[in-house]
Amino acid sequence: MGTTTFTKKTLGLETGEPGVTPPPVNHNTTFAKKPKLPGRKSRKRDIPEGLWTKCPKCATMVFDKELDENLKVCSHCQHHFPIGARERIHSLVETCTFEEMDAEMTSVDVLTFTGVASYISKLEDYQKATGLKDAVLTGICKIGEHRAALGVMDFSFLGGSMGSVVGEKLTRLIEKATEKTLPLVIISTSGGARMYEGMFSLMQMAKTCAALAYHAQARLPYISVLTHPTTAGVMASYASVGDLIIAEPGAMIGFAGPRVIKDTTQAELPPGFQTAEFLLDHGLIDAIVPRKEMKPRLIEYLNYLAAGQN
């Protein structure tokens, strides 16, 4: 009978150092350090947040500072980003000539409207976020050599919606222009009437247009500038009755949105429907003016229309 020898197998740990002891550092290994590759810094350091904006049209990352210097227009594809009312006024009027009217006028919640949130709390939130009291700024200013009445809407305040404050401020501006025999420029951007104010917002359509009729009767010029987007109650009232109607490139202009029209008419809409370019071809507007050319072009129009008036 053969003898079988059993050998005790070990895992080789019995004689080793306890597990907590750190292994000795070996400096001789070839791969001790990860090689540094040139130009591969961390992404976070390359693109700090808030300094770049991706252009929705050409997908280029645009440096925010460059965008600001270019009046919020993409220098690669000329896409016009939204611009705030104050910034726009700054780009159009002669320095320090804008005398604001009714700066403290704010909306009252006449209907005590409550949806997802109360109208009052919505107003407070937007006032805090935008630094504006409502969706329009109005005042008397100088554009080139011309004294003019200027109203500028801001889409960032509740979608540029027209409530009683927007209507009242614009009406007072138009009436002031009539009284002082001044030409009028209104730069619109709006999603339409402010439904939080129900019928009170719809009444602004008639009120602003009535004031414009008196302005026209006094043979004073009104230039309406449509920017992206100008729709619904605003487009159906003061924005579409200018002596001259001009628009920024690519602006969406219309009454109802394309989906509603398609569903109602059951017809295919033509390409480019409701863009400034389409409406220029079909005679609704008179010219398309890029934002950077807006001031010299307004001066040129005022030279023709307001010659000898101020």
Q: Is residue 79 a contact point for Zn ion (CB under 5 A)? A: yes
Q: How far is the CB of 164 from Zn ion (least distance, A)?
A: 38
Q: How far is the CB of 244 from Zn ion (least distance, A)?
A: 28
Beta bridge partner(s), residue 247: 226, 288
Element (H, E) at 54: strand 52-54
Q: What is the three-class DSSP state of 212?
A: helix
Stretch that binds Zn ion, among 76-84, 256-264, 274-282, 289-297 (CB under 5 A): 76-84
- Nearest to 88, CA basis, from 171, 152, 4, 14: 152
Q: How far is the CB of 58 from Zn ion (least distance, A)?
A: 3
Query: Which 116-135 positions form the footprint of Zn ion (CB under 5 A)?
Result: none
Q: Which of 71, 73, 74, 285 binds Zn ion (CB under 5 A)?
A: 74
* CA distance linking residue 293 with residue 247, whole number of Å: 12
Q: How far is the CB of 112 from Zn ion (least distance, A)?
A: 44
* Cβ closest to Zn ion, residue 20 vs residue 59: 59
* CA distance linking residue 76 with residue 227, whole number of Å: 20
* CA distance linking residue 181 with residue 171, whole number of Å: 15
Helices vs strands, H then E, count in the chain: 10, 9
* CA distance linking residue 63 with residue 141, whole number of Å: 32
Q: Which of 52, 70, 77, 86 binds Zn ion (CB under 5 A)?
A: 77
Q: Which of 47, 51, 58, 206 binds Zn ion (CB under 5 A)?
A: 58
- Nearest to 209, CA basis, from 184, 180, 174: 174
Q: Is residue 71 a contact point for Zn ion (CB under 5 A)? A: no
Q: Is residue 291 a contact point for Zn ion (CB under 5 A)? A: no
What's the one-letter identity of residue 271?
Answer: P
Q: How far is the CB of 73 from Zn ion (least distance, A)?
A: 9
Q: Is residue 76 a contact point for Zn ion (CB under 5 A)? A: yes
* CA distance linking residue 158 with residue 191, whole number of Å: 9
Site string for Zn ion, 2-41 (x = CB under 5 A): ----------------------------------------
**Binding-site ranges for Zn ion (CB under 5 A):** 55, 57-58, 74, 76-77, 79
